A and B are shown apart, each in its own frame.
Chain A
Amino acid sequence: MDIELIGRIWPFFAEAAWVTVKISILAIMLGLTLGFTAALASLSRNPVLRWPARSYVSLFRGTPALIQLFLLYFGGPQIGIHLEPFEAGVIGLGVNIGAYMCESIRGAIISVEKGQTEAGSCLGLAHHQVMSRIILPQAARMMVRPLGVNAIALIKGSAIVSTISVVELSYTAHRYISSTYKPFEMFILASVFYLAIVTIFSYGVKWVDRGVALE
């Protein structure tokens, strides 16, 4: 293993890792927004809200993220959508992970006991009050871990945006392989950075999870 080479080029990987972090955080925020909206819509009694939400989930969970990304970035211009690689990366990853996050959020909401809803409605509270004051505060505690799993999957899965030339970790590894001919070192280096990001993020999730736990 060429330690001297790694010592020389790791700062470029660190810079690329920052791009991976940025694109992941933005995509997670987009995913949470979409996931939350879709989860509430899919639990609605109104089919006009429910139906689009369910279609969104089955569509984006049922097709490869890579194809969704290509469709957006390469197919988009044909229908007048012109995006920079970074923008397309955020939107492609975010919309995809939103479908998974929707299911995590929906699952947490459904798992709150039926008796809680009954107790709330028996007091005369309106549906939205039961949801916001009784169900969601309890569901929030149960969705932290599954959402963390979704987010970590996204961080690792963000490697696919290298295919639309976003200069993040995977793209950088490929680029230095073509100039150094050292794929082993380059992929090890990229892996170390991915592992570091994921590890830090996992600790963050655990910290939040403990913070919201019931006493």
Chain B
Amino acid sequence: MTEPIVKIRGLKKNFGQLEVLKGIDMDIEPRQIFALIGASGSGKSTLLRTINQLEEVTEGEIWFDGELVNQKLPHRQRERHLNQLRQNIGMVFQHFNLFPHLTALENVTLAPVLLRRSSKAEAIEQAKILLDKVGLADRADYYPSRLSGGQKQRVAIARALAMTPKLMLFDEVTSALDPELVGEVNRVMKELAQEHMTMIIVTHDLRFAEDVSDHVVFMADGLVAEQGPPSQVFRAPQEERTKAFLQQVFED
């Protein structure tokens, strides 16, 4: 048995009085494709965002690659510790968050160059390969304002991959897209999955989750309600809450 790349123990998160995560335990193995599903407000996005500490946690532990993510450290040291960790955790957002003042290519090269991962020339070379991989080699010099939503999201994936992360986090990355643009982004993610990138995917797109993931976690009210392989969670759910959720979603 390999050591999990992400290990979450007793994780709790409050926003003021509101308990969003009420005690989560979770193991993510290397090369696993992990899908987090559940109704809006179930805490799945918050859980994802605690892994790279975009959200601080109230209680519990998060381990990534053998290191405690949420260590209590003095401010400066904490920043350095997180910057180091985040270089190995790629993240893709619902609203792309591309840098609008930079071209597609510059969006991808910015971090590797600033963080001295590679020389400028190497970074450009690498970025071109990545843009080609997501099908946007011909858009390298476009500014984000001239790209469609699907294209922006594919650039965002290339930007995250440029740091050669060990883990990729996807936060509802197709929710803001027009329906006809969802497929192109899903295809890129599926390709990554086939290359055995470790991925945690928060999604409302259950068909995609079933298609691409090898482990599904259904969250409800800040807790893990059910988890298992997609064939089990989607086809033979054990919990009443899972059944109700699936029925409701697939009826629409």
Which A residues fall within an 8 A CB radius of B? 45, 113, 115-116, 118-127, 129, 133-134, 137-138, 141, 214-215
Contacts and interface: CB of A to CB of B under 8 A. Distances in A.
29 contacts: A113-B97, A115-B93, A116-B99, A118-B93, A119-B91, A119-B156, A120-B99, A121-B54, A121-B82, A121-B86, A122-B91, A122-B160, A123-B111, A123-B159, A123-B163, A124-B84, A124-B85, A124-B86, A124-B87, A124-B111, A124-B115, A125-B111, A125-B115, A126-B79, A126-B80, A126-B83, A129-B114, A133-B110, A137-B101
B204 interface: no
A125 to B, nearest CB: 6
A119 B97 contact: yes
B79 A119 contact: no
B108 to A, nearest CB: 10
Given A119-B93, A133-B114, A124 B100 contact: no
A118 B97 contact: yes
Contacts of A125: 83, 110-111, 114-115
Given A118-B54, A124-B84, A124-B88, 13 more contacts: A115-B95, A118-B97, A119-B91, A119-B97, A123-B110, A123-B159, A123-B160, A124-B111, A124-B115, A125-B110, A126-B79, A215-B143, A215-B145
Contacts of A120: 99
B86 A214 contact: no
Nearest to B86: A124
Contact of A214 (B95, B101, B156): B101
A204 to B, nearest CB: 22
Interface of B: 52, 54, 75, 79-80, 82-91, 93, 95, 97-101, 110-111, 114-115, 143, 145-146, 156, 159-160, 163
A210 to B, nearest CB: 15
B47 to A, nearest CB: 16
Contacts of A141: 101
Contacts of B83: 121, 124-126
B143 A122 contact: no
A171 B160 CA distance: 62
A124 B95 contact: no
Q: Closest 7 CB pairs between A and B?
A: A124-B87, A119-B97, A123-B111, A115-B97, A122-B91, A124-B86, A137-B101
A119 B99 contact: yes
A115 B91 CA distance: 12
A215 B144 CA distance: 10
Contacts of B163: 123-124
Nearest to A46: B75
Contacts of A123: 86-87, 110-111, 115, 159-160, 163
Nearest to A117: B97
Contacts of B146: 215
Contacts of B97: 113, 115-116, 118-119
Counting chain B CB atoms within 10 Å of each CB, the highest count among A119, A121, A138, A214 belongs to A119
Contacts of B99: 116, 119-120, 134, 138
Contacts of A116: 97, 99
Contacts of B89: 122
A46 to B, nearest CB: 9
Nearest to A116: B97
A9 B79 CA distance: 65
A138 B100 contact: yes
Contacts of A133: 110, 114
Contacts of A134: 99
